[in-house]
Amino acid sequence: MKLAAFLLATAAFAADDSFVLRNVTIHPVTSADIPNATLVVTGGKIADFGPKAAIPKGAKVIDAKGLHVYPGLIDSASNVGMSEISSVRESGDVNELGDFNPQLRAVSSVNPSSDHIPVTRGNGVTASLIYPGGGIIGGQAALMHLDGWTWEEMAVERNITMQMRIPTTTTSTFSQTFGAGRRPFAETKRRYEERLKLTGEFFEQARAYQRRKAAGGGGFTVDRKLEAMLPILEGKEQLLVFAARERAVKDALAFAAKENVKIVLAGVREPGTAVKEIAERKIPVILGETLELPLEEDSPYDSPFTLPGELYKAGVTFAFGTFSVQFARNLPFQAANAVGFGLPYEEALKAVTINAARIWGVDDRIGSIDKGKWADLILTDGDPLEGRSQVKQMWIQGRPVSLETRHTRLYEQYTKRP
Amino acid sequence: MHRRKLLSGILLAPFAAYAADGTVVIRNAKILTVTKGSLEGSILIRDGKIVEVGPNVNAPAGAKVIDAGGQYVMPGIIDCHSHIATDAVNEGAVSVSSMTGTGDTVNPEDIGIYRALAGGVTTANILHGSANAIGGKNVVIKMRWGKDTPEIVFDGAMPGIKFALGENPKRRGGASEGGLNTRLRYPATRMGVEDVIREAFTDAKAYKAALDDYNARVAKGERLIQPRRDLKLEPLVEVLEGKRFVHAHCYRADEILMLLRVADEFGFKIRTLQHVLEGYKVAKEIKEHGAGASTFSDWWSYKVEAFDAIPYNAALMHKKGVLVSLNSDSGELMRHLNQEAAKTVRYGGLTDDEALALITINPAKQLAIDNRVGSIEPGKDADLVIYDKHPLSNYAKVQKVFIDGQVYFDRDTDMNERAAKAERKKALAEKQKAAARPAGNGRRPQ
């Protein structure tokens, strides 16, 4: 028995997902920083950490003197892997046709060979909530590790939330042919009311379907769109509702109350007086980019920078999303920018680690350095939210992950040009 | 227009706190001169110019003293590629639009100016768009928010013109857009872009020859009719004579090299290559030609020609001897060019001073205004930014911005005025609502 246990332990340490970091400053996020400590990873999981953590015999030891270890960063909204070159329609799989597509799933359209995956990893992002768009209900989003030979291997959770865009009164229009334009307000209002009505009707249909299915009996046939709505109606899955301005946020809150569904708000930018209700109803928020312009000409110049701090003070739980492909690697800087404008540093770091994991219900596996969690880790030479820092190494589930990218390869290649 | 007037009434803040001819001392500051190292001390400003920089300066009695409280002072940021403060960007109907210019449509009330100021930018190169192989003329402005058009123009800046290569200028030559086949425009290929430029400069040479001949003969006393003035070719003649800078939008290495060779052949210089995302591939040739490069920190993949863009571009070109700046091309990015500069430390290992030079002295050199701005040195314009932390930190925020020694942005003032502005806006909105309601006789004012 003892021998078997010993052999097992040895085998584990010989594997690629076990190692020890020594002389490292540990930033667990969920507890205080520990300088000069040891972190033990066994079988892809965090086995132990602390100033006096014992180094198992035969373990591969990495001396990390002067370096820092953090949990891998989590982007709570991106399209990484679903679009390669944004101007080339053929390379994009984000937006499907039609208003209601709850049956669609992003997970199997994430290209594991996308050049954006390693590029995003380069700045410390180990996992991303990858969502589809288009219409009112765009489909199901997946929480993906940014590593894996296939999308199956990448997936942490395949269908974790449903993307929805609350109808808005937007008068500005844009078309490739005619460029920017304006829609008259009366038409905009009619369109907005019509789309809100359509959304309500779709949920009504889904509830009717739910009742028919529960009743059983003959004549029941599967409707794949409505079937996909059941986890939402049953409260097992959250709706990820995009709403930027105060009116849209209020509409989204009213909608969630009326339909009695759990929501996460996304892309919130100028929520105004809706903040109080968001806090009271404990609705999590995925913040739109902080590095953005104010929506209104006469909004305070720093309104996108101060919003995270204001939500924090109001008691709202939030995480950051990049809502991007090419700029997904700037997740740490989106968070950092809020720090100068009122968000405590620790909260910025939490918003790209543990709070994201909590919102998505995966904090049993990722989001902090805690015993038993997956070893999704980054080793840095400083604060990972600062532009001047470097990510030196990365592990996902204890496996070392390459930080080489299309960009580092071209850099090396052309540095050598005589 | 009505809306703009309504808003400007709220936004034009009385910032000009000090008389331009007054003497100002910024003391107790960590001064990042960019060109002469960093020090702790003071900056003496007189008549809008920096007079003295040192641990101690000879401040005359009565000078206005600003205590920086140990915070950082750096030169005002210069953005070598922007489209703010202009009511028109692209004249896209023709492939050569050199008769147009952004200087004709400057809008001093664009909120983009104030937002740029709040991001530490004091000077920007306002370029024409990239819809044409040869685009319109540019204008260099200072962010003198609250001043009228002639006063926001950077007096004495070299005139310039925009060129554009690659996907943008050939877009209008593409196949039908949304079924509309009616507005095709030459060129449709990179070959055609080169051809348009060659054709335009062939014409410009002929025009210049005619003008030179006319001037020479008139000087000899001949009485002749002046050649007909050509507003399209005139700026190109100025390019040939070295009196107007070429700022060329480009992406791919092949087109960059093409333009350098065409310029060599016609005997003019490319002053800056803009975007120049594959500049790192032909850094040697760019350096040999003597062109500057003004690029993004990390934009990539938004179109095919941006797929080989790397965030190491700025650092790599700099290491290969090219004069490099970082630009925004965006009213948003413009607000944090300091953070963009910080990325060149991460991508390519530039030093802090090299990184800061990319957004200060280097763009000043590219625009040939480095005798006036771009560093903290005696004799230069007092265009300065106070940050609460080191400006290459992502946690730093702008506290005060000076142009010509006057405060144009003050975070405290901005914050203090918010409540009153909100009140005024509310009152104006009420007034507007009331005015929109039909009066007692049921008739609206005409």
Classify domain A74-365 by CATH number.
Answer: 3.20.20.140
- Asked if the Cβ–Cβ distance from B425 to A389 is below 8 Å, we say no
- CA distances B264 to A127, B247, B254, B260, Å, are 50, 15, 15, 6
Query: B-contacting residues of A 105-134, CB under 8 Å?
Result: 115-116, 119
Q: Is B75 on the interface with A (CB under 8 A)?
A: no
- Asked if the Cβ–Cβ distance from B339 to A333 is below 8 Å, we say yes
Q: For residue B109, what is the nearest residue in chain A, using CA coordinates?
A: A297
Domain boundaries, chain A: 1-72+367-418, 74-365
Count of pairs with CB atoms under 8 A, one residue in A, one in B: 119
CB atoms within 10 A of CB A165: 22
Residue B13's pLDDT is 42
Q: What pairs with residue B78 in β-bridges?
A: B123
- Asked if the Cβ–Cβ distance from B304 to A336 is below 8 Å, we say no
User: Which residue among A301, A388, A414 places its CB closest to the CB of B345?
Assistant: A388
Residue B12's pLDDT is 42
- CA distances B318 to A190, A413, B298, B345, B362, Å, are 55, 16, 15, 12, 11
- Asked if the Cβ–Cβ distance from B7 to A298 is below 8 Å, we say yes
Q: Are A76 and A286 in contact (CB under 8 A)?
A: yes
Distance CA A39, CA A35 (A): 11
Mutate to test the interface with B, among A88, A292, A378, A414 (most CBs of B within 10 A): A414
Query: B-contacting residues of A 131-150, CB under 8 Å?
Result: none
Q: What residues of chain A lie within 8 A of the CB of B343, using their CB?
A: 387
CA distance B304 to chain A (A): 6
Mutate to test the interface with A, among B114, B280, B301, B432 (most CBs of A within 10 A): B301
Distance CA B130, CA B239 (A): 18
- Asked if the Cβ–Cβ distance from A411 to B312 is below 8 Å, we say yes
Q: What residues of chain A lie within 8 A of the CB of B418, using their CB?
A: 300
Q: Is A175 on the interface with B (CB under 8 A)?
A: yes
Q: Are B340 and B121 in contact (CB under 8 A)?
A: no
Query: B-contacting residues of A 193-212, CB under 8 Å?
Result: none
Q: Is A174 on the interface with B (CB under 8 A)?
A: no
HEC states along A105-124? ECHHHCCCCCCHHHHHHCCC
- Asked if the Cβ–Cβ distance from B11 to A298 is below 8 Å, we say yes
Q: What pairs with residue A75 in β-bridges?
A: A128
**Which residue bears the tokens 């070429």?**
B246
User: Which residue among A300, A336, A337 places its CB closest to the CB of B418?
Assistant: A300
Residue ranges of domains in chain B, CATH in brackets = 2-75+406-436 (2.30.40), 77-370 (3.20.20.140)
Residue A60's pLDDT is 95
| Confidence bin at A178 (pLDDT 50/70/90) | low
CA A415 to chain centre: 35
Residue B301's pLDDT is 97
| Confidence bin at A15 (pLDDT 50/70/90) | low
Distance CA A39, CA A54 (A): 9
- Asked if the Cβ–Cβ distance from B280 to A410 is below 8 Å, we say yes
Query: A-contacting residues of B 162-191, CB under 8 Å?
Result: 177-178, 180
Q: For residue A386, what is the nearest residue in chain B, using CA coordinates?
A: B394
DSSP state of B434: H
- Asked if the Cβ–Cβ distance from B178 to A386 is below 8 Å, we say no
Q: For residue A297, what is the nearest residue in chain B, using CA coordinates?
A: B111
Across the range A11-31, mean pLDDT stands at 85
Quick one: fold of A1-72+367-418? Urease, subunit C; domain 1 (2.30.40)
Closest to A280 (Cα-Cα) out of A236, A318, A313, A315: A315
ipTM of the complex: 0.94
**DSSP string for B108-132:** TT-HHHHHHHHTTEEEEEE---SSS
Q: Is A181 on the interface with B (CB under 8 A)?
A: no
* Mean per-residue pLDDT of chain A: 94
Residue A171's pLDDT is 81
Query: A-contacting residues of B 6-35, CB under 8 Å?
Result: 7, 10-11
Across the range A398-409, mean pLDDT stands at 98
Q: What is the pLDDT along chain B (446 residues), one digit of tens a residue?
A: 333 433 443 444 444 444 445 899 999 999 999 999 999 999 999 999 999 999 999 989 889 999 999 999 999 999 999 999 998 899 989 999 999 999 999 999 999 999 999 999 999 999 999 999 999 999 999 999 999 999 999 999 999 999 999 999 998 887 555 555 556 899 999 999 999 999 999 999 999 999 999 999 999 999 999 999 999 999 999 999 999 999 999 999 999 999 999 999 999 999 999 999 999 999 999 999 999 999 999 999 999 999 999 999 999 999 999 999 999 999 999 999 999 999 999 999 999 999 999 999 999 999 999 999 999 999 999 999 999 999 999 999 999 999 999 999 999 999 999 999 999 999 999 999 998 766 555 455 44
Q: What residues of chain A lie within 8 A of the CB of B393, using their CB?
A: 386-388
